[in-house]
Amino acid sequence: MLQVTSKLPDIGTSIFAVMTRLANEHGAINLSQGFPDFDCDPALVEAVARAMRDGHNQYAPMPGVLALREAIAAKVTRCYGAPCDADGEVVVTSGATAGLYATLTALVQPGDEVLLFEPCYDSYVPVVRLSGGTPVFVSLRYPDYAVDWDAVRAAITPRTRLILVNTPHNPTGTVWSADDMRQLAAIVDGTDIVIVSDEVYEHILFDLRRHESVLRYPELRRRAVVVSSFGKTFHTTGWKVGYCVAPPPLMAEVTRVHQFVTFTVHTPTQVAFAEFLTRDPEATALAGFYQARRDRFLSLTSGSRFVPLACAGTYFQLLDYSAISQDADRSVAEWLLTTHGVAAIPVSAFLYRDTGGPVLRFCFAKKDETLEAAAGRLSRV
């Protein structure tokens, strides 16, 4: 038989695909994978169709449709006060995952160390390893998942090449503060460390919090690649359109890789997003829209034995199950799905070194009737 040496021998199918498959097999309510079960704005669908009818059906420029890059640059300036050049500092990617892949592949060399905050999104570590880098973990610990800046300073070595930030944070729903950003800036001052900031939930913050993008901080902006996505903002996760923003020296390297990954992204969708982003760059209604869903989910589950942890952003809610079981979170997640018909994600899927806590992640980007049905089942556990 043909022998193949795997570059990722310990990586199997993602937990998101596994839980969604199990949910489908068991007819469970799927609060595991992070996607809405409601439609996007019909006007956005019409804008894509109109772009197709208007002939925008061939390759877009490799870095992205100019109108969209200009809209992204204008949004960066308006939202975060950061001047941005559409020609040299923006590239449109096939979702944030492709943006992260191009960025990490471009910037991580064999032997480099990459500092990651765990729990961390599951695509980070495999890409670091594929690039020859070494993941170095700083734990965000249950139950508050705050950054231990002393631990960050202790983890920095002469081989530290990159620090990967994620705020608002998936899976915990925590949000970095201005003080966190100042601490980060102080740590990297005088070094060649690059910051990669995953900000796909940038417009989904609650209780009047402000998104502290690294773009707000000139001392971080000059050494950072910011990755974001339209999927979360416009309820279009299946369209897979994201983007990167970075100063020209970094963007030149990201683009070198991007052109050989997807080269370009679906043209009519880019044209439509340019129109919508220009109209409302701050996504003014989004935070309130999702805060109402968070609050409804919390209200509906308030009579259950699950205890919510603080959720300041994203569309994920962590629930503590320690009053129900002392078993490991993956076992509890599988039991909850097969026995009670609700699919959630075990937070251990985002962990590499820490043991985690007795919590599961639930997605509340769902219709009211979906949340009501799920909460009813959770309340009977």
pLDDT for the residue 12: 87
Q: What does the pLDDT look like over 223-260, one tens digit per residue? A: 999 999 999 999 999 999 999 999 999 999 999 999 99
pLDDT of residue 354: 87
According to the model, what pLDDT value does residue 283 have? 98
| 329 φ/ψ angles, rounded to the nearest 5 degrees | -65, -35
Point out the residues of the chain with pLDDT beneath 70: none
pTM (whole model) above 0.85? yes
CB-CB contact of 207 with 197 (8 Å): no
Tens digits of residue pLDDT in 283-298: 999 999 999 999 999 9
Q: Which domains does the chain have, with CATH numbers?
A: 15-40+284-379 (3.90.1150.10), 59-279 (3.40.640.10)
Give the Cα-Cα-Cα angle 45, 233, 115 (nearest 5 degrees): 140
Kind of pairing between the strands at 194-198 and 224-229 = parallel
Whether 135 contacts 352, CB under 8 Å = yes
The pLDDT value given to residue 176: 98
pLDDT at 210: 98
Length of the chain as a residue count: 381
- Residue 355 has a pLDDT of 85
